Amino acid sequence: MTGPIIAAVLTYLLMLVAFKWHRFRRFHMSVMIFIICFDVGMPFYLVATRDWKTRLIDNGDILSFGVWMHFGLIITLYVLYVIQVQTVLKMLRSPKQAVDSEALAAAHRDHRAQGMGILLARGLVIATGAILADPMPEE
């Protein structure tokens, strides 16, 4: 297993803990912000440290179903992150004693459902990334 895969799995475990301990808001929000930043930064790290031209173009992996499935899952994950952040901002902007408590409760339900979707999508991104990882990257 390569370093980025181990890092992704460890952050996924941390994400599961933060999902479980959602009542500890400071911890939960800090971990989730870190995870989003990690996931946005990972492609930049991989582009900077891997020879993608040889792998994708010269070896022809760009045409494989696995690469496109992985790419689609990453886009899905990023879209879920944007929707999740919008929902969080909606919840944070509404006062606790809001007149429309049903809308706030609906936002909380949406946030939880989106969180489960993110857990699923991120798990699949990590799994497909591990499958596609080059076992012996050339240094």
Q: Is the pTM of the predicted complex or chain greater than 0.75?
A: yes
pLDDT of residue 97: 61
Task: Extract the tokens encoding 50.
Answer: 């891997």
- Cα four-point dihedral sign 60, 63, 65, 66: positive
Say yes or no to pLDDT of 118 above 80. yes
Identify the band that residue 30 occupies on the pLDDT scale cut at 50, 70 and 90: very high
Task: Extract the tokens encoding 132.
Answer: 């596609």
Q: Per-residue DSSP letters for 14-75?
A: HHHHHHHTTTSHHHHHHHHHHHHHHHHHHHHHHHHHS-HIIIIIIS-GGG-HHHHHHHHHHH
Element (H or E) spanning 11, and its range?
helix 3-20
**Higher pLDDT, residue 55 or 8:** 8
CB 126 within 8 A of CB 9: yes
Alpha carbon distance 68, 72 (integer Å):
6
Say yes or no to pLDDT of 116 above 70. yes
Listed by start position, the domains of the chain span: 3-132
The answer to which of 8-12, 37-41, 53-57, 78-82 has the lowest mean pLDDT is 53-57
pLDDT of residue 98: 58
Alpha carbon distance 54, 111 (integer Å):
41
